[in-house]
Amino acid sequence: MRTALILALAAAVTLPACRRAASRETEEDPAVPVIAEPVRLGNIRASISATGLVEALPGAVFTIVAPQPARIAEITKNVGDPVKAGEILVRFEFPSLGAQTVVSATNVRSAELRLNQARLAQDRIQTLVEKGAASRNELDEARREVDAAEAELAIAKAALSVVEAQGGNTTIRSPFDGTTTERLHNPGDMVRPEETDPILRLIDPRQVHVVVTLPVAATTRFVVGATAHAIAEDPASRGGAQPDLLRVATRPPAEGDAKTVNVTLAFDTPTQLRPGTQVAIEIDAEQRSNVPIVPAIAVLKADPANPVVVVAAGGNAQRRPVVIGLVDGENIEILSGLKPGELIITQGHSTLRDGTPISVSTP
């Protein structure tokens, strides 16, 4: 009787203890939900990041300035507008041009009249000299009057040509295909014939390039003709535009013990970037094909020298060191540590330890 009572009490104590132990085990080891995807074979291209400066070659920038004090009658382009060679850009009105034209034309007519009278007088005196009714001195004086009248007419015509040339400058056309980068006046504005009072500026993108300084070792990773992209580092200079496409134009060898070289990149398409603008450059470098790649977010770099990924091994997490190769904006090449097809965790993996139970979902 006493033995049965002792066994019953022991069972009563043991059963709740077992239940509590099972409950603690369930609470301590819940499956962590994660998202994983397989290591895949694919292509990856590295890029070289640097800061460059937009520079203009001679003749790349065309600035319109009034040839004389004028009023702007018309401006045909706004900032960012494309321009074709020969297109009308600005029309001027010159307040003093009409009066100058009238005065110059009047002077020409007066000089022509004087010359005609001098020639008639010379012919008349020549006839009288032949008849003995006039002296040789009178004929010489008549010839000097003709010469003076011809000189006066030449000066008057030259002055009229200058005024007419000024009138021809009432219209300014584009000298090349390009892009409008600045507009500093509007129709109706009075402008001065000074470089400090520009009206419109254009850029010829064929004569604008980017110069970037790179370590010599980096230049071995790309070739002349390699593609690149540029975007202004100052957001105010971007104008909402997409990155500009460029190509490597020159890749000079290092001279002597130089550690860096200047590489130039030419724009593929018209650009709104002005000379003097700093730009962030991404040059497409070496490419590898059919290699194991994983999303960049899957690689943990708490210790940059020893990157790791977390593999979904059955129902548990497994932290695994890897050796990485090329890196682009989205993916990383895996040189060793993973095989194609293995599931690597891309979300929910940063705090996982070896052996942590996981519940895997795939994208």
Instruction: Identify the CATH number of the domain in which residue 75 sits.
Output: 2.40.50.100
For strands 331-336 and 323-327, give the pairing: antiparallel
pLDDT tens-digit map of 216-248: 999 999 999 999 999 988 765 544 467 889 999
Question: Do 320 and 332 belong together in one domain?
Answer: yes
Q: Mind giving me the DSSP string for 247-262?
A: EEEE-PPPPTT-SEEE
Nearest partner of 208 among 22, 46, 56, judged by Cα:
56
Alpha-carbon distance 306 to 321, whole Å?
Answer: 7
**How high is the pLDDT of residue 273?**
82
Residue 281 lies in a domain: yes
Q: What is the pLDDT of residues 180-230, one digit of tens each?
A: 989 999 999 999 999 999 999 998 877 889 999 999 999 999 999 999 999
Last residue of a domain, one of 267, 288, 309: 288
Instruction: Tell me, yes or no, whether 224 and 270 share the same domain.
Output: yes
217, 284: one domain: yes
pLDDT at 239: 47
From residue 89, alpha-carbon distances to 4, 78, 147, 178 in Å are 112, 10, 45, 12
pLDDT value, residue 168: 54
CATH number of the domain where residue 346 is located: 2.40.420.20
Q: Residue 80: which of 171, 178, 175 has the closest Cα?
A: 178
Q: 279, 280, 281: which is closest to 54 by C-alpha?
A: 279
Whether 7 is in a domain gets the answer: no
H helices present in the chain, as ranges: 2-28, 97-131, 136-168, 216-219
One domain for residues 104 and 123: yes
What pLDDT is recorded for position 25?
44
70 with 115, same domain: the answer is no
How much is the pLDDT for 257? 85
Task: Give dist(CA 264, CA 209) in Å, integer.
Answer: 7
Task: Evaluate whether residue 254 is within a structural domain.
Answer: yes
pLDDT for position 23: 46
Looking at residue 329, what is its pLDDT? 77
Q: Which residue from 185, 176, 174, 240 is spatially nearest to 208, judged by alpha carbons? A: 176
Question: Please, are residues 8 and 1 in contact by the beta-carbon 8 Å criterion?
Answer: no
The answer on 270 and 332 residing in a single domain is: no
Give me the number of domains the chain comprises.
4
Predicted pLDDT of residue 215: 94
Q: What is the identity of the amino acid at 305?
A: A
| pLDDT, average across residues 60-88 | 92
- Asked if pLDDT for residue 169 goes beyond 80, the answer is no
Q: What is the mean pLDDT of residues 85-104?
A: 81
Domain presence at residue 162: yes
Specify whether 282 is located in the same domain as 349: no
107 and 123 inside one domain? yes
Q: What is the pLDDT of residues 265-284, one digit of tens each?
A: 998 887 778 888 999 999 99
Examine the domain organization and report whether 84 and 104 are in the same domain: no
Tokens representing 240 are 């909402």
Residue of 357 and 131 predicted with greater confidence: 357
pLDDT for 304: 86
Q: Kindly state whether residues 249 and 234 are assigned to the same domain.
A: yes
Instruction: Identify whether residues 280 and 222 lie together within a single domain.
Output: yes
153 lies in a domain?
yes
Query: So what's the pLDDT on residue 173?
Result: 93
Structural domain boundaries enclosing 299: 29-44+290-361
Alpha-carbon span 338 to 336, nearest angstrom: 6
Domain endpoint, select from 227, 262, 288: 288
Handedness of CA 112, 113, 116, 121 (dihedral sign): negative
In this structure, is residue 9 part of a structural domain? no
Q: Residue 343 pLDDT more than 60?
A: yes
State whether 78 and 179 are in the same domain. Answer: yes
